[in-house]
Amino acid sequence: MHSKLSRRSLVKGGLIAGALLPVAGLVSRSAEAAALPPLDPSDPTAKALGFVNDGSKVDTKAYPTFKPTQKCGTCAQFQGKPGDATAACTIFAGKSVPQGGWCQVWAQKT
Ligand code: SF4
């Protein structure tokens, strides 16, 4: 009887743990993105790609194809969810970018 209960609680515990693992993964991914240091616009690569923290400050003479709807938050390289204030960017590994930022690598998220 005792071992039957233990087995049942083990199975139950395993099911709960299995159900929570994907949630834990999401939480830790968000936490990782939040922990990333922000990309410095004066970083040489950021500068070379015209990165700005605020898309309204894009030098439109230097980047005439820029459109105000182009923002990190709508870019295919932005690793966050819609509405995330900042997230990792696949172009700038180990850094976070703000959803309102921009650089010339911008490509529409599909
Ligand atoms: S590649 Fe996209 S997400 Fe990354 S900095 Fe440039 S515009 Fe923002």
Residue nearest to atom 4 of ligand 1 (CA): 89
- Atom of ligand 1 minimally distant from the CA of 103: 6
Tens digit of each residue's pLDDT (9 = 90 or more) over 4-51: 556 565 455 454 444 544 444 444 455 555 589 999 999 999 999 999
Q: What is the domain class of 37-110 according to CATH?
A: few secondary structures
Tens digit of each residue's pLDDT (9 = 90 or more) over 59-83: 999 999 999 999 999 999 999 998 9
Could you give the CA distance from residue 42 to residue 40 in angstroms, rounded to a whole number? 5
Task: Using alpha carbons, list the distances in angstroms from residue 84 to 38, 47, 68, 80, 97.
Answer: 14, 24, 19, 6, 10
Q: Tell me which residue of 101, 60, 55 sits closest to 78, measured CA to CA.
A: 101
For residue 104, the CA-to-ligand 1 centroid distance in Å is 8
Could you give the CA distance from residue 14 to residue 25 in angstroms, rounded to a whole number? 17
Indicate whether residue 46 lines ligand 1 (CB < 6 A): no
